[in-house]
Amino acid sequence: MLITEKLSELRMYALEKFNAEGDFTFLKEGELERMVDSMIALDTEYMNRVGAFDDGEYDDDAAYEHIFETMKRLYPDYQMYCMRLSEDYLDFSEEYLDSIGAIEWD
């Protein structure tokens, strides 16, 4: 339950940041929300695969590649924006997780 709650908070945080940035206002209504949901799901999938929830190591570059490559396939009409979306999402995610003390820095 706690993870689900934090993911919901991350979603709100990321959407606020994306909207404040204003770079994706050209997207159709609801598309940014769907894209953020997809990136959160992909990031969570990556974290489960590497055991990041259980003391496994989270590799930013590997997570980025997984998110970016999959987003290009999921949203072919926006392939040229997927790099920026993925980078921004990971930045916002890191900011959020750091703000709640959920990141352990090596």
Main-chain dihedrals φ then ψ at residue 100, nearest 5 degrees: -105, 5
- Region 16-37 average pLDDT: 96
With a cut of 80, say whether residue 10 has pLDDT above it. yes
Break the chain down into helix, strand, coil percent, rounded to 5. 75, 0, 25
Q: Where are the alpha helices (DSSP H) in the chain?
A: 2-21, 31-50, 60-74, 79-99
Closest CA to 81 of 11, 37, 45, 31: 31
Spatial neighbors of 62 by CB under 8 A, at least 6 apart, are: 46, 50
With a cut of 80, say whether residue 105 has pLDDT above it. no
More confident residue, 1 or 93: 93
**In this predicted structure, what is the pLDDT of residue 27?**
95
DSSP assigned state of 100: T
pTM for the predicted model, two decimal places: 0.92
| pLDDT tens digits along 44-77 | 999 999 988 888 889 999 999 999 999 999 999 9
Question: What confidence tier does 4 reach under pLDDT thresholds 50, 70, 90?
Answer: confident
CA distance 48 to 59: 12
**In this predicted structure, what is the pLDDT of residue 106?**
63
